[in-house]
Structure formats: structure tokens, C-alpha cells
Amino acid sequence: MKRFAITAILMVNLVALTGQVRHITVASDGTGEFTAIQEAVNSIRAYMSDTTYMFIKAGVYREKIVIPSWVTNLFMKGEGAEKTIISWDDYAGLRDMGTFRTYTIWIQGSGFTAEDITFENSAGPVGQAVAVHADGDRAVFRRCRLLGNQDTLLTANQESRQYYEECYIEGTTDFIFGPATAWFERCHIHCKKNSYVTAASTVEGHEFGYIFNRCRLTAAEGVERVYLGRPWRPYAATLFMRCELGSHILPEGWHNWDNPANETTARYSEYRNTGAGANPGARVSWSRQLSRKEAKRYTVENVFARNDGWIPVK
């Protein structure tokens, strides 16, 4: 395998976006410039407009990683999601840590991309334990595995835009949660417990929250009572469209978090879902099935529209 397995097209795109590309190799066996990912991150100069391309060789990296706000335009590339694994095991009840500090990786810097990497919180079913805490704007994950139980993926920061493509995301309760605007394209969402998939906390005035497009929802054996979502905050916005929903998804689909007032503010919708869990006629009355005209508004370009012209789709 070449030292930096990066396509010519990707290189052109990175150069066009930021001007130059710096290369770093991380290898646990000592064959790269760094043996630890955090050491490599710490070597990056602050507030660089150039892209840093970090190739992470196969191995299990037992690290708790922070990508600080001044490390921008970082591209992390693994040798494959089942080969390059980043794992840590903090959880909310450990030393009264609380949910938000349990991350395996905390991404604060903008312009972050990860491809072909597993991010795992290995604490087990012990309560809240975050694998990925994504804060920065313009975050992209492709062909990654996000492994955990409760609160696996925290899409933090209400001004953050995040794009997940062909990722595998698993968990138990509220395992995709937070206020960011996030698009999930052809992802595999796997439920490990009778509970809730999403807990969006979209803020009032933000038109878009979570969009799951052409995703597949599956469950572990014996799991048969799962809600698509419940509102962590009153204006939660979540859409599942063109998704394949397994039989574990309850006919009513959505939960009000034991607060009827949320039914007047939460924005839960679906469009042309399939599978045993797609039951449009049985859904709660305060959710919606979009019309074809309404669904046309949901494009990556519209959802992420801002004056910087950022489009994460290759």
C-alpha cells in the first residue's frame, strides 16, 4: 500500500478548497511520524487555511482525542473502518464526569473530515457514554463506524453542519442526539435495545435538524419496540425519507418524552419509507407524512445553505 492512499480527485478537491495539503502518518508500530493520534494533532499549526491530511495506519488506538478549535481543515483517513479503530471507555457516572466529557473524540475545529475509521466508546451499557462529540462546523464522516450504547453520537453546536455518508451507527438510547443540522446519507442505523433512535434538540427558528435519507434501520435480536425519536428540546426536527425501517420500529413511530406540550412544537416527519416499520397510517397524529412537493425542499444544498457555499457531496 502506498504511504498516502489518496485519490487524485480528492487531492485536487483539497487543494482547491484550502490551497495546500500537509501530510502526516500515524502508525502504532512506529513506521510513521507519530505513534499516537493526539500527538499528531498537537503538531498542527493553529488556524491554518491549508488542509492537513492525516493517514492513520491499521491498529487499535486507545486514546481520548481532542481536535481543538484552532485545528481546522483536518482530514483523517484510516485503512478501513474495521482496521483503524479509535477507542476509549469514559462514561457519565465515572467520577461524576457527566455526558459531554465522556467522548472518545471531541471535534471542535471546523472543516473536519474522517473516512474509513471506527470511533468507539467501549464502556458498555453503563449509561451515557459518547463516542463522537462533533462541535465544529462542516464536519464530514464517510464509511466510518460509530460504536457505543447510550448517547453514541453527540451532534453538538446549533450552528454546526454535519454530513454522514455510508456510516454504521449503533447504540441503545438516544444514540444520535443534539442541536446540530445533520444529514445522514445511506447510513446503517442499528438499535441494540428497546428505546429511542434520536433525541434532536433543534433550536426554534432553525428549519432543518436531522435528515436521514436512504438509510437502513436494523435491530439486535429480541429488540422490537423502538421509537424513531423523542424531543430532547421542544423544537426537535427529524425527518426519515426513503429509509428502510425494520419491524422493530413501533407503529406510532414517535414519542413526546412524556410531555404533551412537545406535540405542538416538535417537527417529526417521514417521506416514502419502506419496510415492516414503515406504518404511515399508524403514526402519532402530531407527526407528518410529507408530500412530494414538500420533500423537494430537502436537498443537501438547501439544508446546508449558507453564504460559504459548502457542499459536502463529492
Query: Which active-site residues does the annotation give?
Result: 151, 174
Q: State how far the Cα of 4 lies from the Cα of 28, in Å rounded to an integer.
A: 16
Q: Which is nearest to 228 in space by CA: 180, 291, 273, 164?
A: 273
Q: Which is nearest to 129 in space by CA: 149, 109, 155, 156?
A: 149
Here the cell at position 26 is: 500515524
Write the DSSP assignment of the chain as a string of letters.
Answer: --SS---HHHHHHHHHHHS-EEEEEE-TTS-SSBSSHHHHHHTSPTT-SSEEEEEE-SEEEE--EEE-TT--SEEEEES-TTTEEEEE---TTGGG--GGG--SEEE-SSS-EEES-EEEE-S-SSSB--SEEE-SSSEEEES-EEE-SBT-EEE--TT-EEEEES-EEEESSS-EEESSEEEEES-EEEE-SSSEEEEE-PPTT-S--EEEES-EEEE-TT---BEEE--SSTT-EEEEES-EE-TTB-TT-B--TT-GGGGGT-EEEEES-BSTT--GGGS-TTSEEPPHHHHTT--HHHHT--TT------
Here the cell at position 189 is: 442505523
Map grid coordinates 428497546 to a residue: 194
| Residues in contact with 223: Cβ distance below 8 Å, sequence separation at least 6, in sequence order | 191, 192, 193, 194, 248
